[in-house]
Structure 1
């Protein structure tokens, strides 16, 4: 990741600034070029913001103010795209060891040693700028298109699309992406949960059906042999007691059927 080259002051013509920022970002191949595109987009935003305020001060027609707001939103969208690219470029540079991480000391290597990774300040970046770039990237990952929708929402309501308003929207989206998502419910919307009585009876019938399906002649022969082998085991008496209790319960339920 190379140092940011100074951006020459472009023309103050708003459409030209926006076109230049767009083409610069599309053609950017390095982090420095992405940063330059971001700077031009930021300048376009500032020019559009001043134009909108000037139109309001002159009590200009709503169409003129709306046009300035649209240009402002366009500049913000380009700036946000540049910030997303910046976050990816910066994180990749850190992974390659070209940029120092926040927890790594860079003052323990001499200035003449080329292996010392560059710091954010040396690259012309502030920590808060990197943080914001990552938030925008994460917000778009969590909710694709959130930046454009947030800007369009402001425009549709006749409100000015500002950095502060956009930041709030993308922060909310990024936080939603960090929260664990509940899996979609597969519950049948027409399902009516059983009453306690119905649930109890289903348990009885389910137990009977499962045992009846298992109790083939072959399985019963195996079970009888297993019973004989288990007579000397520590829990044989408990097993015998449970079988006796289950048999009594089965007999009671059978009597219910016979009495119908």
Structure 2
């Protein structure tokens, strides 16, 4: 199926606007400093908390674009439902992420891989990986209920992507990454801290508890040194290799060569990424 370029352009635009809306507000909630090598929008002089309203404007313009360009299409209602559902899922993921780092209730004991997966699945995987493919399927006249297997692969790919992000937040050069990682300072339920908790001795656990979630550079340095002692770089590389093999196997087992090609292109773009 060949779609009119204007429809493809509009669909891409609303997905970018949805992401921009999430990121503008996420940077405020995380008190981040940079985003893609530039100051976060709320840190730009004369913007400040006006950024909150800017985010709301981005979000509300999405449905104006969908209505203008897709209203007469047979899949319009399903497309609107998809965007609404993905937005709700992402907001739920953000909520879980925020309440696990709530000041005054910091407790590393509640962090685990299932909690991390839940946050990542809702906060990142649905809008970053599932949404683009789901839009294409709807525009091709497909019923999304018939492609649950594709959804599951994309969610797993999104989780792998976020584990990469957690790793890069700590180990990547900020100049290359385009942002300054703050997962340690922000007490995030990062894949790294969960794996550290699994591998720590009693003494190492005490070091982690004493320093994780504190903004002082000396505390952050102690956590990073502990991560190196635990060889979390090696643990991540093993995880990355196994994840790639597993995802490739699932993709190649799909009956549709066209869907295989799309999923393989997604995986190729993120495998061993550096930013």
Q: Is the shorter-chain TM-score for this pair beyond 0.5, marking a shared fold?
A: no
Greater helix proportion: 2
TM-score using structure 1 length: 0.27
